[in-house]
Chains A and B, each alone.
Chain A
């Protein structure tokens, strides 16, 4: 496996054979942690020239379906700690077919550039003309038309959010997939890097063709015919909206409530019935879980003229820009999602920041002088304007809000209802103890990494905190294996340990379930070590008061219980 290292300060690149890394650490997350350890001084400012970005794919890319995630790892400008973000699209497959296991980006360009990796060659291209284009969709289109490799490439780019260093700006790939969380877009922006294009055409001979074909078919069959991926095959992640509302776990109006009266209008069922216009897929995925809504908007003041836009929706966006902001108008919600897509922002962080700002205004912690717009729960038009301000940052308030809700509440108060965990804005589940403990101890601080909300629904409220921690960690250790294989977490029901071992075989790699589990434990440990080096401290984790006040499935949560869990986690799992 080769690693491509690109230095933006010197406009040079080199290729290294790093089979050793992939043999020991699988790929994806496991390898990215090691490369970051090698390349990054843990104490650097995340927006400085010294920050480093790693993109890594896994050993099953592109051999098998559903293993097309790319892991991005960097120092996060939002949290000041380890940043990890996964995206689908065509990135991983393009990196693999171009002949690389990972790509490392260092340094900072003096002028705006975009990089094109075309198999063995790397080009540094002038991006001065497109710097300043805030619409990430337009940026993607311009580059797609100018560059070659149609169908076998990925176009990863930033919009206005990344350029203006919004700490929760994302990197968008293939229009609708994102390295969403933790501010990779701002790191691109700080490096004067508008886009990264990877064009890959290539392949290698499979060791055992018959064995490979057999396991390939088994994976395909399981994903299409079993129930393992049914949820994603049908309504998509938006299927969660209604059941979460029923169990009182749907964060609403900055988590003042967990049931939303507008649920029926913004449910997965409603989107499917009234808006779903198309489904598309990440590379090498038969499920096609990317649900695109069609939104028809009339021109202002010109009768019988319409524009029709396609907007990708998922549960987390419906939560963060819908129920969390009290927006039950489906068209309004779609326009908010589109606005966030346009600028290249993380939808979850944006929604949580705006929800906090709305409540801060209600409580007179800030005034309209600061917020400019009269933010009100449910008023999507006001939020549309506020999203513009987060990017344009016309005053001190928005300059600070663009740094995340933790920072904003440091400056303006309202900590009790600033819903961030480890400085990262919360995802859309207020189910119970495991959910919130998971947010606090999760190594990616994204719900996808801890499974707490599912655990809560299984265990009820009478379990000891130590047991919750052990179960969360065990699951997360296995997920380190999955994210090192870069298997989509939606396919975790397909890629069980036994199948993973079988799938390695025709590729000429012998392993066992025990060995995989051990690797998961080691990667978990290595990640925590890296976090600690970057300044992570369990004792400084803040538990937002609001999660204790608003009832959830387990009733009212007790702070002492959560603290006991954290103490146990620290003593048992966090190495210093």
Chain B
């Protein structure tokens, strides 16, 4: 079974963003430029917080609109990003209806590849990296 970044309990999210910083720092970047996960408040922190990231579609719209095949569909869901082929058109960003693809400062997308690195930093058990059944 494939391993994925999964939500264990979204209600526990405090919006600290450690996942976002971890995502960029995995690439040696301090900040959020390369981050493919975003902590947001729910129309203000009074309603709590949540995180937005790729949900590993089996028929990913972002792949379908990629003109250079930089984004490749993974069989069990989710994408592979071949950065060298990307021309930074941004079609994938527009195609993702949950807004889970972000634009880096070089114009290319930041998209979650389900490596699970960020889950190690989640202090409150919101995120986990575990095997999931393909659905």
A residues at B contact (CB < 8 Å):
62-63, 65, 93, 96-97, 137, 140-141, 144-145, 150-152, 174-176, 200-206, 209, 212-213, 216, 220, 224, 278-286, 288, 290, 292, 309-310, 507
Contacts and interface: CB of A to CB of B under 8 A. Distances in A.
B21 to A, nearest CB: 6
A152 B32 contact: yes
A97 B32 CA distance: 7
Contact of B28 (A202, A209, A290): A209
B16 A286 contact: yes
A491 B55 CA distance: 35
Contact of B18 (A97, A203, A279, A284): A284
A151 B46 contact: no
B109 interface: no
Interface in B36-58: 38-41, 43-49, 52
A343 to B, nearest CB: 17
Contacts of A176: 45-46
A96 B33 CA distance: 11
Given A212-B25, A220-B121, A203 B48 contact: no
Contacts of A204: 29-31
A286 B18 contact: yes
B16 A224 contact: no
A180 to B, nearest CB: 17
A7 to B, nearest CB: 27
A145 B43 CA distance: 8
Contacts of B30: 62-63, 203-206, 212, 507
A491 to B, nearest CB: 13
10 contacts: A62-B31, A97-B33, A137-B46, A176-B45, A212-B25, A280-B49, A283-B16, A286-B16, A292-B46, A310-B46
A528 to B, nearest CB: 34
Nearest to B48: A278
A285 B16 contact: yes
A280 B45 contact: yes
A209 B27 CA distance: 9
Contacts of B16: 281-286, 288
A203 B123 contact: no
A203 B31 contact: yes
Interface in B110-129: 121, 123-124
B61 interface: no
B14 interface: yes
Nearest to A200: B32
A152, A200, A204 — most chain B CB neighbours (10 Å): A152
B52 A202 contact: no
Interface of B: 14-18, 20-21, 24-25, 28-34, 38-41, 43-49, 52, 102-103, 105, 121, 123-124
Secondary structure of the A side of the interface? mixed
B15 A203 contact: no
Given A209-B28, A281-B16, 18 more contacts: A62-B32, A65-B18, A140-B44, A141-B44, A144-B43, A150-B40, A151-B38, A151-B40, A203-B105, A280-B41, A280-B48, A281-B14, A281-B17, A284-B16, A284-B17, A284-B21, A286-B124, A310-B47
Given A141-B44, A174-B41, A286 B123 contact: yes
A203 B32 contact: yes
A152 B41 CA distance: 10
Contacts of B123: 220, 224, 286, 288
B25 A216 contact: yes
Contacts of A224: 123
Contact of A175 (B17, B39, B46): B46
A213 B25 CA distance: 8
A13 B74 CA distance: 47
A109 to B, nearest CB: 26
A272 to B, nearest CB: 16
Given A174-B45, A280-B48, A284-B18, A206 B25 contact: yes
Contacts of A137: 44, 46
Nearest to A141: B44
Contacts of B14: 279-281, 288
A284 B28 CA distance: 17
Contacts of A279: 14
A216 B28 CA distance: 12
Contacts of B39: 151
A203 B121 contact: no
A151 B29 contact: no
A137 B16 CA distance: 21
A270 B16 CA distance: 26
A63 B44 CA distance: 25
A285 B46 CA distance: 18
Contacts of A201: 32-33, 102-103, 105
Most buried by A among B21, B45, B123: B45
A205 B52 CA distance: 24
B7 to A, nearest CB: 16
A286 B102 CA distance: 24
Contacts of A286: 16, 18, 123-124
A175 B48 contact: no
Going nearest first, the 9 A-B pairs with the smallest beta carbon separation are: A203-B31, A203-B33, A281-B16, A286-B123, A151-B40, A288-B14, A310-B46, A203-B29, A281-B14
Nearest to A309: B46
A507 B44 CA distance: 34
